[in-house]
Amino acid sequence: MAILCAMPSPVQDKNPLIPHPPLKQYYADEDHRRGFVSWLFDETACHYDWIIRAMSFGSGNWYRKKALVRAGLRENMQVLDVATGTGPVAKTASEIVGPGGQVFGLDRSINMMKEARKVVSVPFIHSDAGRLPFADNSFDFLSMGYALRHVDDLNSTFEEYFRVLKPGGTVLILELTQPESAIGRKFVKFYLRQIVPKIAYLGSRSKDAETLMTYFWDTIENCVSPDTILAAMSQSGFENPGRNRALSIFSEYTGRKPGA
Ligand SMILES: C[S@@+](CC[C@H](N)C(=O)[O-])C[C@H]1O[C@@H](n2cnc3c(N)ncnc32)[C@H](O)[C@@H]1O
């Protein structure tokens, strides 16, 4: 399946709510963050799947499926998987919706979607979470796996998600959040910031893959709070946005577009 290119600039809010402050050890300022993130995922696309599998001891796809079903994904739905990456959420979603449904994968990295094409046959669109090339009220379900920390602006991103969902449609955002307890934070930080980047380097001999995984933790550690994310969802119009926590670091944010 071809990758369709539709790469408009994201809508810019006058007061953007950025997911984390600029991380100057990686890029100079907020204006350079976008280019850095695109470069990082393009460079490391061929390593992403095995690193994530190793890091989560192979449980990642099992968990993604549980979360999609918990949020209400079912047969025959129209789904947009934003920041689809190498396609793990899109693949699982297309198994759930079956032949009567349809899944679209969208990402800013062409190389990540080239990897996705090897595992799932759905239409892929090269675009940005902040500017979705779809008409209003197009989807029953919108998913985003582990990429909210990389968007330019939480407010305009949620406004776009709200716009393309049909009345009654559901958004599901999978994210990683620091554990609440100090000991939990210490343990998870040691594993994700010290061990995982080394495994990524040893398995790939790629410094960029190591950087991908140090950046991974640094964005989690510096991300705005779950309450700020829920408030932004609510401000964009989502009804009763909620957060389900699993294993102390997995957050599932859900919201419903009113109507229907
Ligand atoms: C950590 S990967 C997640 C991939 C997949 N969703 C998963 O569950 O494993 C993050 C993906 O988000 C994409 N991404 C980052 N910022 C984006 C944006 N603003 N719009 C669309 N995709 C974006 C990256 O290119 C990358 O493929």
Per-residue pLDDT tens digits for 81-98: 999 999 999 999 999 999
What does the CA dihedral 45, 65, 57, 104 come to, rounded to 10 degrees?
A: 0
Supply the pTM of this predicted model. 0.95
**Which amino acid, one-letter code, is at 244?**
N
Task: Judge whether 173 lies within some domain.
Answer: yes
Task: Judge whether 239 lies within some domain.
Answer: yes
Nearest CA to 151 out of 173, 170, 167, 168 is that of 173
Number of domains in the chain: 1
- Average pLDDT value over all residues in the chain: 94
The Cα–Cα gap between 89 and 63 comes to 10
Residue ID of nearest Cα to ligand 1 atom 14 = 83
**Which amino acid, one-letter code, is at 124?**
F
Do the Cβ atoms of 57 and 123 come closer than 8 Å?
no
Strand order in the sheet with 3-5: 3-5, 124-126, 102-107, 78-82, 139-145, 165-176, 250-256, 239-246
Task: Judge whether 13 lies within some domain.
Answer: no
Task: Judge whether 14 lies within some domain.
Answer: no
Q: What is the CATH number of the domain that holds 222?
A: 3.40.50.150
| Per-residue model confidence as pLDDT tens digits over 186-227 | 999 999 999 999 999 999 999 999 999 999 999 999 999 999
Choosing from 11, 81, 103, 107 the residue with most ligand 1 atoms within 8 A of its CB, the one to mutate for a pocket test is 107
Q: Which domain holds residue 81?
A: 27-179+216-256
Which tokens sit at 74?
């079912």
The answer on pLDDT for 8 being more than 60 is: no
Ligand 1 environment, Cβ below 6 A: 37, 41, 83-85, 88-89, 107-109, 112, 128-129, 145-147, 150-151
The Cα–Cα gap between 124 and 180 comes to 37
pLDDT at 248 (0 to 100): 86
Task: Judge whether 189 lies within some domain.
Answer: no
Task: Judge whether 226 lies within some domain.
Answer: yes
- Give me the mean pLDDT over the 156-183 stretch: 97
Residue ID of nearest Cα to ligand 1 atom 26 = 85
**Three-state secondary structure string covering 64-111:** HHHHHHHCCCCCCCEEEEECCCCCHHHHHHHHHHCCCCEEEEEECCHH
How close is the Cα of 260 to the center of ligand 1, in Å? 30
Q: Which atom of ligand 1 is nearest to the CA of 109?
A: 25
pLDDT > 70 fraction of the chain, expressed in percent and rounded:
94
| Per-residue model confidence as pLDDT tens digits over 41-52 | 999 999 999 998
Residue ID of nearest Cα to ligand 1 atom 13 = 83
Residue ID of nearest Cα to ligand 1 atom 2 = 85
Task: Judge whether 12 lies within some domain.
Answer: no
Task: Judge whether 19 lies within some domain.
Answer: no
Q: Which atom of ligand 1 is nearest to the CA of 113?
A: 27
